[in-house]
Amino acid sequence: MAASAYASPIEKGWYYLHRLICGAVLLFLITPILVVIPLSFNSVPFFTFPMPGLSLRWYEEIFMTERWQGGLRNSLFVGLSVTLLATVLGTLAALGLSRPNFPWRTAVMSVLISPIIVPIVITAVGTYFFYADIGLLNTYTGLILAHTTLATPVVVITVTATLAGYDHSLTRAAASLGASPITAFFKVTLPLILPGMISGSLFAFLTSFDEVVVALFLAGPEQTTLPKVMFSGIREQISPSITAAATVLILFAVTVLTTAELLRRRSERLRGIR
């Protein structure tokens, strides 16, 4: 849509100014993230362009040194456990919430979503006091449970959105043809909501994989995660290995986003929306 031919000079001027502003805002949004990526391949430990040479030494550092490696291992382990727990709990809840006439739907939904609204420090501090009482501080179990709490809203939101377009007469049709509720779920409902479930679980993984505040409070040296290593690195002396770790996290985010988008399209196609 270009400026129309009959527009006055002021309108044209405004039109181009508006486009310019939008270009600037988009640059503001994306550049900081894109700047980090090339810097992680810098051969010298400075944050300047042009870079004197390319090197993989910072990646070597994060994949070879014990501190980073341990962080990555913990992040993956905690993230996968969280994904499993959050997906099961979140999908079950979303299935219940999407049934017609669910009682107190808004209230229940508000409670289930609240972990992403309540300031993260409050969640972390409250859990820290609570875990201190029951002895879950500095344990994998504690960290996994806390991250699962933060990740379930994401699954609930994603799967509920998928179920919004779900035609309940399909389940009834299966039942009328003699399928038990369990069979009907696995043969009819599950294949249709699977794309939503997978994107939900990917977002759940990302939530845990990126999370730093709860990890700072609840994780001991044993459970140090990748973001926690990054955080202390930024606090002390920021080195390019942090930009390498950041690039890894960006890569994860982009992968998750792309997969979720592809799944969404597939699910729309399956349900015949497009």
**Nearer Cβ to other proteins, position 116 or 270?**
116
Q: Select from 123, 189, 201, 224 the one that contacts other proteins (CB under 8 A).
A: 123
Q: Give the per-residue contact string, 168-187, with other proteins (x = CB under 8 A; - = no).
A: --------------------
Q: Are 182 and 190 in contact (CB under 8 A)?
A: no
Q: Give the per-residue contact string, 214-253, with other proteins (x = CB under 8 A; - = no).
A: ---x---------x--xx--xx--x---xx--x--xx--x
Q: What is the number of other CB atoms lying within 10 angstroms of the CB of residue 181?
A: 11
Torsion region of 138: left, alpha or beta (phi above 0 gives left; psi -120 to 50 gives alpha): left
Q: Are 155 and 208 in contact (CB under 8 A)?
A: no
CA proximity to 143, closest of 184, 87, 85, 69 = 85
Q: Are 136 and 220 in contact (CB under 8 A)?
A: no
59-118: which residues touch other proteins (CB under 8 A)?
89-90, 92-93, 95-97, 99, 101-103, 106, 108-118
For residue 54, what are the β-bridge partners?
Answer: 42
Compute the distance between CA of residue 31 and CA of residue 170 in angstroms, rounded to an integer. Answer: 47
CB of residue 270 to other proteins, shortest distance in Å: 19
Maximum alpha-carbon separation in the chain = 73
- How many residues sit in the footprint of other proteins (CB under 8 A)? 94
CB of residue 147 to other proteins, shortest distance in Å: 10
125-154: which residues touch other proteins (CB under 8 A)?
125-131, 133, 145-146, 148-149, 152, 154
Q: Select from 2, 6, 9, 49 the one that contacts other proteins (CB under 8 A).
A: 49
